[in-house]
Structure 1
Amino acid sequence: MTTQQTSPEVSRFFEKIMVAKDESELADYVRSLVIALGGESYVFVSLHPGVTTASRATHRFLIGCRPEWCQMYNANKWYMTDPFLEYARSNTAPITGSEVVVETQGQREMLAAASKNGFRSGIVVPVHASTTERMGVLYIGSDDSQAVGEKRLTAQRLYFRALAMELLDWSIRTAKHEVLEAHGITEMDLRVVGYLKSGFTAEDIARELDVSVQTVYGNYKKIKDKLGVSHISEAVKFAEVNDLLA
């Protein structure tokens, strides 16, 4: 068990996380903070709660644990039945490993494997964004027994909730930037799609932008071409799924 840092030192780790230049640097800072708060391993995942398919198209991960655990988790498709993930879809309060409700043999196997790979004890922190549909789940683990580890980690739950929120903000910003870059989407494109989401007609948009209706329809075509969709309503759905309108 590592010695916990004082609050000023923990605050400095948060400051570094907020200005991390890339994912690798962010992962290192998060690991340092987790250790400072008494944990040893972590995984953060953000996703859309309604997406439960095996493709995990909307999932984004930040990993700070043994790679063997991630390999087992993926190989067994435990993300389809993860009891902590199911809990996080409709809850916001942190939950410890001993509190989770286990209903299937697969879930029991998952928790047994987690216990051998840095998550013998742990706490899971759900976080939900107010401006998008995306949610996040922060898993913090320790090799200590549940009696020891859970008590220590639970005492730091406010810090872990703050960390989860920062990581969800980072995930939303990063995902949005990558999608905009990949498809060449402009601010004007987003503005038009935002109006459509709000129920504006082409005539409404033309009036709002002080352009002709023909210009608006031209914008529709450019947006559809960039996204490879056949109807502008599909562009609105794409923007929603990828958190582009937040």
Structure 2
Amino acid sequence: MDSSLVTEHIAFVAKDKIALRLHRYDENFVLKRETLQPDGTRVTQVFPVEDNRSLWSYIHADPYLYELENRYRQIKEVYSVALNRSGRQSASASFYRRAADDLMVSCEQVHECHNHWEIHSVVGDLIHRLGGTQYVYSSITYDEIGAVPMEYEYLIGCHPRWLQTYQHRHWYANDPFIEYAKNHTRPIVGSKVSVASGGQQQMLSAAKEFGFCSQLVAPASVRHSRMIGMLHVGSSIDPADGGEAQLLAGQILFRALSAELLDREMCTRQRSATTQFDLSEREILVLRLVRDAESAWGIAGQLGLSVHTVYAIYGRINEKLGAGRITESAKLAAAHGLVR
């Protein structure tokens, strides 16, 4: 049970299962909207709630407001009660809002964050100092062969109506920035991205309506991982007026920030899965070696163990992961972020 969870509401809209969860971290709140589609694809929006007004904006941006109205009303009531009991909500955790003179230090603060609110505080501050006015950070997890996206998660640092529109129109399924991020690590501005369809052009035009007049995307990836990250930064300044040039001036730091966010997400998932499956450091190391196609004899030689002991470790791992073969366990471990 997540100790930060304040209230949870489940609804079925059309063929989707939608979960609304309000989390509390000290005096700050985060609303998570998770959609589970019939094909198993999971899309999660993570929205840091700054005050009643921002919560109202998020709720009224939801295209399924009519179907979810009662659930949202209960969330608003719980939020208001919690807010009144705690007194005035702090704008942010002051430790994470401190302005480090070295911008790279600000990037590294991401790993010091304990929750999405603190991450939003660090990321939002840094992006504004680099000339951006808003952002969305996406983490996308693919299937075992890396072909089909199975899970999307979005940390929202922009007007919520943009992300609601983006998800409702299923633009994530044909997003030109995601197509670029799958195969590149260098940041790219909106005017340079390859647009192959009218739908993609419509998406880029809609983004401008919500303040992404100039855009920069900083991809992040890790070898052998099924997850990629993508930091999408927007500026209210048009490219013709220097908006893209201003964002490009900070591309090294945007790239570093995107990589830090991905690394933190992967570390968080790894810790969670390690606890869930109760795996030891040695068992995780064995799984990593199996994923790298090492034989039982090779693993025994590297770890100074007998082959019999290695097979005994295989058996314990398979039991914990509920798998029949060690290769299957290695795939499951990779899916849960246990090995990279």
Give yes or no for TM over 0.5: yes
Task: Kindly state the Cα deviation for residue 9 of structure 1 after the two structures are TM-superposed.
Answer: 5.8
Q: 2:202 aligns with which of 109, 117, 121?
A: 109
Task: Kindly state the Cα deviation for residue 146 of structure 1 after the two structures are TM-superposed.
Answer: 2.5
Checking the alignment, whether the CA contact within 8 Å between 2:146 and 2:226 is kept in structure 1 is no
Aligned to 2:171: 78
Higher relative contact order (CA 8 A, sep 6+): 1
User: Once the two structures are superposed, what CA deviation does each residue of 1:204-238 show, in whole Å capped at 9, x if it has no partner?
Assistant: 44455555545433322322232232222111122
Residue 155 of structure 2 corresponds to residue 62 of structure 1 = yes
User: Once the two structures are superposed, what CA deviation does each residue of 1:102-160 show, in whole Å capped at 9, x if it has no partner?
Assistant: 12122122112211223121111122335745432110012222223212111211221
Separation of aligned partners in 2, 1:15 and 1:191: 27
C-alpha change, 1:102 and 1:198, in structure 2 (3 Å) is closer
Separation of aligned partners in 1, 2:272 and 2:173: 26
Checking the alignment, whether the CA contact within 8 Å between 1:54 and 1:77 is kept in structure 2 is no
Separation of aligned partners in 2, 1:185 and 1:25: 29
Separation of aligned partners in 1, 2:304 and 2:222: 33
* Equivalent runs, 1:197-216 vs 2, <5 Å: 197-206=291-300, 208-209=302-303, 211=305, 213-216=307-310
Higher helix share: 1
Aligned to 1:53: 148
Aligned to 1:136: 229
* Equivalent runs, 1:74-223 vs 2, <5 Å: 74-130=167-223, 132=225, 134-148=227-241, 149-206=243-300, 208-209=302-303, 211=305, 213-223=307-317
Percent identical residues: 35
Mind listing any 5+ residue stretches in structure 2 that lack a counterpart? Answer: 1-98
User: Once the two structures are superposed, what CA deviation does each residue of 1:32-58 show, in whole Å capped at 9, x if it has no partner?
Assistant: 1111111111112233566453532xx
Q: 131-140 vs 6-15, which deviates more?
A: 6-15
C-alpha change, 1:54 and 1:136, in structure 2 (3 Å) is closer
Checking the alignment, whether the CA contact within 8 Å between 1:43 and 1:139 is kept in structure 2 is yes
Q: What RMSD in Å do the two structures reach over aligned CA positions? A: 2.6
Higher strand share: 2
Q: How many residues align?
A: 239
C-alpha change, 1:15 and 1:232, in structure 2 (3 Å) is closer
Task: Kindly state the Cα deviation for residue 201 of structure 1 after the two structures are TM-superposed.
Answer: 3.1
Separation of aligned partners in 1, 2:163 and 2:278: 33
- TM-score normalised by length of structure 2: 0.62
Task: Kindly state the Cα deviation for residue 60 of structure 1 after the two structures are TM-superposed.
Answer: 4.1
Aligned to 1:227: 321
* Counterpart residue type for residue 201 of structure 1: S
Task: Kindly state the Cα deviation for residue 12 of structure 1 after the two structures are TM-superposed.
Answer: 5.1
Separation of aligned partners in 2, 1:191 and 1:17: 26
Checking the alignment, whether the CA contact within 8 Å between 1:37 and 1:156 is kept in structure 2 is yes
Mind listing any 5+ residue stretches in structure 1 that lack a counterpart? Answer: 1-5
C-alpha change, 1:134 and 1:35, in structure 2 (3 Å) is same
